[in-house]
Structure 1
Amino acid sequence: MTKNKLSVEIFGQQYNITGKASPSYMREVANHVDETMRMISQANPRLDTTRLAVLSAVNIADAYMKLKREHDEILHLIEDDQP
């Protein structure tokens, strides 16, 4: 699989990202990070960029962990339901 390279803007900064995912997916991920940072920045306008990035990462990781737990619980329910 070929690697795709893409230039994206996150919180006013340009980043070059490379990955095996489609450019549209990589752009969607970058947009999610940008939106998260902007949302947290609006609620906490005095945060420096480093703290803002860490809080954004924590928020995104929290959402991921919650979804992963739900997914694991659903898989467990499905496995228990099998004969």
Structure 2
Amino acid sequence: MTKNKLCVEIYGQQYQIVGKASPGYMREVAAHVDDKMRQIAKSNPRLDTTRLAVLSAVNIADAYLKLKREYDEIIHLIEDDQP
């Protein structure tokens, strides 16, 4: 599988990202990060970019971990129902 190289903009900065995912997916991920940073910046206009990025990462990680726990619980329930 070939790696894709893509230039994206996140919170006004250009970033070169490389990955095996499709360019469309990579754009979607970058847009999600950009959206999260802009949401937090709107509520906290005095935050510098570094703190804004860290808070965004914490929020995204929180959402991920909650979904992972739900997924794991569902898988556990499904496996318990197997004969």
TM-score bucket (shorter structure): over 0.9
Where do 5+ consecutive residues of structure 2 fail to align? none
Aligned to 2:34: 34
Q: Matched residues in 2 for 1:20 and 1:81: separation?
A: 36
Structure 1 runs, 4 residues or longer, greater than 2 Å off:
none
TM-score, scaled relative to structure 1: 1.00
How far the C-alpha of 1:67 sits from its partner, in A, is: 0.3
TM-score, scaled relative to structure 2: 1.00
Question: SS of the residue aligned with 1:7?
Answer: strand
How far the C-alpha of 1:80 sits from its partner, in A, is: 0.4
What CA deviation, in whole Å up to 9, does each residue of 1:41-66 have, x standing for no partner?
A: 00000000000000000000000000
Aligned to 1:78: 78
- Computed over aligned residues only, the root mean square deviation of the Cα atoms, in angstroms, reads 0.2
Aligned to 2:56: 56
Q: Matched residues in 1 for 2:5 and 2:29: separation?
A: 14
Count of aligned pairs: 83
